[in-house]
Amino acid sequence: MSVNPETISNLIDRLPRELSVLMVVISDAWGGLEQTALNDAKLLQASGIDVLLLARSDSPVYKHCRKEADGIRLVEHNTPLRRVLDFRLFRTIRRIVNERNVTIVHLHQSSLLQTVVPALTGLSKVSLVLSRHILNDHSKRDPYHSLIYRRVDYILMLSQAMRRNVATTFPVKEKKLRIVNLGINLKAFQPEITDKTIMRKEWQISEKSFLIGVVGRLDPAKRQDLVVKAIAQLKEKIAHLHLVVVGAESPGLNGTYISSLQETVRELDLSENVSIVGAETRIPEVMASLNLFIMPSKEEAFGLVALEAMAMGVPTLLSKAGSAAELARGGRAELFRPGDAFDLSRKIRNLYRNTEYRTKMAGKALAYVHSNFSVEQRLFNTLDIYARCSRRRHA
């Protein structure tokens, strides 16, 4: 259905006035999960929904929330988490729910269920929603997980591939599974008016360069090293070829992966062809500077950065893993075999040679994102889930 401010307002009017959401994000990273959770909290708060965010006080999500969303009430939880039942988090959740009259607890990490579910014992009017951001690689269809997941009202996923994954590996009924697409702030992603030169100037990369970008957390699972190896195969075949790697290293790696990437660049004699530039908040400008965006992850549930590239009309090349096939369907993007630098280099070369095809592909992707991934659509779908939760718990 078409979503506009009026349809959202009408839905909000049907929500219980006492609706209060506790968003729980106990993470030290700043990736798609954390950014999506904070964006959701900001959307809800801006729509007049009472939102609390439980996070570590030294985490990126907490710091970004303090800087960007004054209206969201922050709650700190700074003690290390235990693997099974964490009694400190148990007490914190239960205290907040009772003191702040929370009606919906929304988790973004399934590992917290083993603490949150017991914490909600006896609180039958409080709904529990879980958002999944990663694919599951083992079965949870056992008595223990069946007991835990029985308390969950809905599981929200980002794609059909994730829905199939959850349906086959989790002990939940189909009626509890809902797809809620990611949301892009399309007002910020406007390729027609975004400066395409500002980032190249800052990075000191020539306007003549065929610039390829990889954006996201620097992590072995994200396979930035694969793109570096593909560039090594192409530097003599594509004039003015350059790769920019944008992102901060995952917490806990302590510089090891960045050092490894830099060493690979030196060993392959790519110092003039590869720039590793660190994290960047000006994502529209980053994407606008690129001729080609690559998402090389060996397993990506649904890449927010790929959608952001598409929203800027940038041709996109994706590792054929997770939900990539859904993004690429209908000629919206190209796919390559996961972990295969030779196949990746071949696809890059083909796209470089075919400017007309790249332009058509980017146009299809841009239209797809505008039709399916607006923040308004995501907000409406999330509020609809909350409305269903309220009806179910207060029937």
Which pLDDT tens digit goes with each residue over 319-346?
998 889 999 999 999 999 999 999 999 9
Whether 43 and 88 share a structural domain = yes
Helices (H) and strands (E) counted in the chain, each on its own, are 16, 13
H/E run at residue 389: helix 375-393
Can you state the angle between helices 224-234 and 341-353, rounded to 10 degrees?
60
Is pLDDT above 90 for 215? yes
312, part of any domain: yes
| pLDDT band (50, 70, 90) for residue 393 | confident
Whether 96 and 145 share a structural domain = yes
Query: pLDDT by residue (tens digit) across 118-138?
Result: 999 999 999 999 999 988 888
What pLDDT, on a 0 to 100 scale, did the predictor assign at position 71?
87
Is pLDDT above 70 for 198? yes
HSE-CB of 344 using CA atoms within 13 angstroms: 28
Is pLDDT above 90 for 301? no
Written as six digits, the tokens of 293 are: 């965006």
**Which stretch of 42-51, 65-74, 75-84, 117-126 has the lowest confidence by average pLDDT?**
75-84
Whether 285 and 208 share a structural domain = yes
Overall domain count for the chain: 2
Whether 167 and 310 share a structural domain = no
Q: Which domain holds residue 257?
A: 198-372
329, part of any domain: yes
Whether 158 and 210 share a structural domain = no
Cβ atoms of 267 and 235 closer than 8 Å: no
Q: What is the CATH number of the domain that holds 160?
A: 3.40.50.2000
**Distance, CA of 79 to CA of 55 (rounded, Å):** 11
Question: In the predicted model, what is the mean pLDDT of residues 221-250?
Answer: 96
| pLDDT band (50, 70, 90) for residue 395 | low
What pLDDT, on a 0 to 100 scale, did the predictor assign at position 75?
94
Whether 381 and 345 share a structural domain = no
What pLDDT, on a 0 to 100 scale, did the predictor assign at position 300?
76
Is pLDDT above 70 for 1? no
What pLDDT, on a 0 to 100 scale, did the predictor assign at position 304?
87
234, part of any domain: yes
What pLDDT, on a 0 to 100 scale, did the predictor assign at position 338?
95
**Distance, CA of 370 to CA of 387 (rounded, Å):** 26
Query: pLDDT by residue (tens digit) across 338-376?
Result: 999 999 999 999 999 999 999 999 999 999 999 999 999
Whether 320 and 378 share a structural domain = no
What pLDDT, on a 0 to 100 scale, did the predictor assign at position 319?
95
Give the residue with greater pLDDT, 32 vs 305.
305
Query: pLDDT by residue (tens digit) across 83-129?
Result: 788 999 999 999 999 999 999 999 999 999 999 999 999 999 999 99
**Which stretch of 31-45, 71-85, 216-230 has the lowest confidence by average pLDDT?**
71-85
What pLDDT, on a 0 to 100 scale, did the predictor assign at position 48?
92
Closest among 106, 128, 120 to 50, alpha carbons compared: 106
Whether 356 and 379 share a structural domain = no
228, part of any domain: yes
188, part of any domain: no
Average pLDDT, the chain: 94
Report residue 353 CA to chain centroid gap.
Answer: 31
What pLDDT, on a 0 to 100 scale, did the predictor assign at position 151?
97
Q: What is the DSSP string of 210-226?
A: EEEEEES-B-GGGTHHH
**Distance, CA of 239 to CA of 86 (rounded, Å):** 56
Whether 217 and 231 share a structural domain = yes
Whether 248 and 301 share a structural domain = yes
79, part of any domain: yes
**Which stretch of 24-33, 163-172, 222-231 has the lowest confidence by average pLDDT?**
24-33
Is pLDDT above 90 for 19? yes
268, part of any domain: yes
| pLDDT band (50, 70, 90) for residue 392 | confident
**Distance, CA of 275 to CA of 243 (rounded, Å):** 6
Is pLDDT above 90 for 311? yes
Whether 209 and 277 share a structural domain = yes
What pLDDT, on a 0 to 100 scale, did the predictor assign at position 222?
94
Written as six digits, the tokens of 114 are: 């083993």
Report the percentage of the chain scoring pLDDT > 70.
Answer: 99
State whether residue 106 is helix, strand or coil. strand
Whether 166 and 260 share a structural domain = no
190, part of any domain: no
